[in-house]
Each structure stands twice: as C-alpha cells, then as structure tokens.
Amino acid sequence: MNVLVIGGGGREHALGWKLKQSKQCGKIYFAPGNAGTAAVGENVDLAIEPVTQKVADDIAYFARHHKIGLVVIGPEDPLSGGLADKLRVLDLRVFGPNQAGARLEADKAWAKKLMRSAAVPTAEAQTFTDAQAALRYVREHETPVVVKAAGLAKGKGVVVCDDAEQAERAVQRIMVDREFGEAGDTVIVEERLTGQEVSILALCDGRNIYVLEPSQDHKQVGEGDTGPNTGGMGAYTPTPVLDEKTLVLIEREVLVPTLDALRREGVEYAGVLYAGLMLTPGGPKVLEFNCRFGDPECQPLMVRMKGDLLAAMLACSEPGRYGLGDVDLRWDQRVACCVVKCSGGYPGSYENGKPITGLDSAAQMEDVSVFHAGTKLNGDRVVTTGGRVISVVALGKDLREARDKANAACDLIQFEGGFIRRDIGDRVLT
Ligand code: AMP
Ligand code: GLY
C-alpha cells in the first residue's frame, strides 16, 4: 500500500520513516516533505493549504494515480482547515480527525468549554474578545496568569507571565498588535499552574483508544526553561514524572471524558488525541489539547515504537470499523531523547539558506536517528529553511546516556547560527 504524508517537519519525517518499516508499506510520498523525507520516499509538489476544494481535488487526483491507500495528515493547519473531511468525501482513507474534532486544538476557548462540560481537570480560565476587558482583568488579578491566543499560533501564542505588567504586555501583543493575526481575536487568561509537564498521546479510532508512552517536551527556547515558548526544543520518552496509576487516571478522567464529550457534540474523533498536562499538587490538569502527534514528541516515540504503525493508523482511519482493539504496539525498553537543532534567532526571526554539514556522520552514530525539519535540497546541498532545522533522536540505557548521545550527534551537524538546548531531560536528571 502506498502512503501520502501531508507535512514537512521532523514529525512527518519520523512518521514516514516508521511507516516505511511496515511490511504492508509500499512507496511513501510527502507533500511537501523536506530534504530528509526525500531519502525515505518521494517529495511531491502538491498544495496543502489553505484548504480548498481544489486542494482536496488535486490531492485525490494524485492519490488515485499513485495508488495511495492512506493519507496521513501531520500538522494542525490542514486538519483544522477540514482537509480530512474533504478527502473522506472523495473516498480516500485518511489518518487524522475531521475539522470538528480538530477544533479541540484550533479553538482553545471552545476546548475549555468542552472540558468544563465534561468535568475534565484543567486550569481555571476566563475568555475575552475585548482587549480593554482583558487588560482590566489582568491588571486587577492578584496571582500569576498565562495569556493565550485562542487560535493556532505554532505553539508560540502562549505567554507565561510573572506579574500583571507582563500579562498586560502579552494581551497588548496578542489582541492589539495582533502578533498572531486572527488567532488572537479571542484570548484566554488562565491561572498559572506549577508542576512537571507531560505529553500524553493516544491513538483513537472513534471508539477505542490506545495510549502511547508518556513523553516530556521542552517548550522554552533557553536552557533551564527560560525565554519565550517555541514549537518544542526537545523531548524524551518514557518519562519518570508520572507513575502507572497517574497514567490510568489521565486516561479515565481526561481522555475518555473528552472523547465522550466530543461524541455528545456529534464528533467521532479518530486520529491522535494529544493532551498536554501539568502534574500539579492537586492532580493532573490539562494545559492544551492537540489534534495530531506532537513535534518533537513524535520523533522519540517513533524510534521506540516496535509495532506496525501503518496497521495502527489504518485501524483508526476506517469510520465504523473501530479496529484499534486488534492493534498491538510494543516499545523499546530503552530511553529515547530528541534534541532539536534550530536556526540562530528562533523563535524570533532567522535567516534561511544556510548549508548544513555533518548529517551523515551524525546518522552513522550507533542508535542515532536524524530527522529533518526545516531543510531543503539546493542542488545536492542540504540547506536550512525553517526555525527548527533538524531533530536528532538517540536511544540509551537511561536518559543521561540518550541525551548525551543526542547532543554529541547534534554537535556533528553544523550550520551557521545553529543552536540546541543541551539540557533536555535535566528536569528529572538533577
Ligand atoms: P500550550 O501551548 O497551551 O501547551 O502552552 C505552552 C506552554 O506554556 C506549556 O507547555 C506550558 O509550559 C506553559 N503553560 C500553558 N498553560 C499554562 C498554565 N496554565 N500554567 C503554567 N504554564 C502553562
Ligand atoms: N510539542 C508540542 C506540540 O507539538 O504542540
């Protein structure tokens, strides 16, 4: 069976790499892909957004001519634009939720309401559509808050504030200066929680769920968790921050009730449900939902996954079959750590087009996988074309070994201005 993967980040490279290991998998196409995915399959020039009928028709035409048995949609933008719905109408098999399900990520205010209706534990929050009202609220609020753009902002629309002044500035940037465009028309002001964070991803077939191994992302750009939020600077799995009991509790009190609440709204959710949680002294609380695999969490998860990803995705892509119960995924018992090498300046502005060297030497290291994100081929040279450029995953007997190996591999990969966080996992190592 041939597969089309929509997207071109580290997540899509890792998904394609893992899918390719399935016995059932034929050729993999990526739209648009990157320099790394070109070595797993073939990159194709298909428009994927904004999602229009023409975009869907062109993808369907391509799929028919290339015998595509499954379309895997990686990123949130096409999902929230309704690409899965449109492709399903055109009789394609798709992995990824419909537009109504993707709203869980695309509209944080709606997600908050849904969580409240289902009594899912989450941070207390107020929603604002009026900047003056939001400014008044944060000025008068005594305890620290987090200000979030309600729409999609590439993981950067969240500002964790220490005081009222910072919160006012955040509201100003999001609502008045419109730094994230219409994603900031509505703002959520949330109580600031404390605790370890954990990413829990589950495959869903519309009825059954299969919870993947827990992982921990590192969102802030600077070592020691400092500086602005990014799309994710590194992640590792499994994480010792939660025990089996807490994982079961999260399944029972967060994932299942959320899927039930969606069903009450008429949404049968199939694809990946990602819960970003904080383990607070009062128990786990949801910070956000995503409607897709996390990036970079996906990369170390794929390296540890031993089962057949294609079979699992197919089980989640046939409405009404609910095939996930038959899927058996196993996991490498070692720890996988992913470190992301970024362009100088990220998550602010940065320059593209920097030649990258050392990719082969890094990939030749034992138990190291190199997944491309913001790269493209320029002739036969690989150059940068994004903020997060390369994600390196290393396996080790423990987190320290895996992290040190991933850092060493990142050091072999060089491009002007490139930088990493060397402290991935330190929250549990020190
Ligand atoms: P989100 O995109 O909503 O997950 O937010 C990005 C990051 O901001 C999270 O990974 C947390 O580190 C932080 N964050 C979000 N909400 C809160 C909160 N209520 N309290 C403390 N930190 C938060
Ligand atoms: N790593 C966080 C995200 O994918 O949103």
CA-wise closest residue to 114 among 270, 294, 269, 281: 269
Residue with CA closest to ligand 2 atom 2: 294
The counts of H helices and E strands in the chain are: 15, 22
Q: How far is the CA of 381 from the centre of ligand 1 (A)?
A: 38
Q: How far is the CA of 266 from the centre of ligand 1 (A)?
A: 28
Q: What is the mean pLDDT of residues 216-224?
A: 97
One fold for 130-185 and 194-326: no
Atom of ligand 2 nearest to the CA of 290: 5
Ligand nearest to the CA of 232: 2
Instruction: Measure the CA–CA gap between 390 and 417, rounded to whole angstroms.
Output: 13
pLDDT at 261 over 90: yes
CB of residue 219 inside a 6 A radius of ligand 1 = yes
Question: What confidence score (pLDDT) does residue 195 get?
Answer: 96
CA-wise closest residue to 296 among 417, 393, 402: 393
> Tell me: the pLDDT tens digits for 38-49?
999 999 999 999
Write out the CATH class of domain 194-326: alpha beta
> Tell me: the pLDDT tens digits for 147-204?
999 999 987 899 999 999 999 999 999 999 999 999 999 999 999 999 999 999 999 9
Beta strands in 173-219 (DSSP E): 187-191, 196-205, 209-211, 216-217
Question: What confidence score (pLDDT) does residue 340 get?
Answer: 98
Q: At the fourth CATH level, which superfamily is domain 130-185?
A: ATP-grasp fold, A domain (3.30.1490.20)
Q: How far is the CA of 71 from the centre of ligand 1 (A)?
A: 31
Instruction: Measure the CA–CA gap between 118 and 254, rounded to whole angstroms.
Output: 9
Measured in degrees and rounded to the nearest 5, phi and psi for residue 94 equal -130, 140
Q: How far is the CA of 234 from the centre of ligand 1 (A)?
A: 16
CA-wise closest residue to 75 among 20, 19, 5: 5
pLDDT at 320 over 90: no
Containing 87, the helix (H) or strand (E) segment is helix 83-89
> Tell me: the pLDDT tens digits for 393-406?
999 999 999 999 99
> Tell me: the pLDDT tens digits for 277-304?
999 999 999 999 999 999 999 999 999 9
Q: What is the mean pLDDT of the chain?
A: 96
pLDDT at 328 over 90: no
The residue ranges of every structural domain in the chain are 2-98, 130-185, 194-326, 335-429
**3-class state of residue 119 by DSSP:** coil
Q: Identify the CATH assignment for 2-98 out of 3.30.1370.10, 3.40.50.20, 3.20.20.140, 3.60.10.10.
A: 3.40.50.20
Q: How far is the CA of 23 from the centre of ligand 1 (A)?
A: 39
Ligand nearest to the CA of 215: 2
Q: At the fourth CATH level, which superfamily is domain 335-429?
A: Phosphoribosylglycinamide synthetase, C-terminal domain (3.90.600.10)
> Which of 105, 148, 199, when mutated, tests ligand 2's pocket best, judged by the most ligand atoms within 8 Å of its CB?
199
CB of residue 197 inside a 6 A radius of ligand 1 = yes
> Tell me: the pLDDT tens digits for 21-80?
999 999 999 999 999 999 999 999 999 999 999 999 999 999 999 999 999 999 999 999
Q: What is the mean pLDDT of residues 245-250?
A: 97
* Cα end-to-end span (Å), the chain: 46
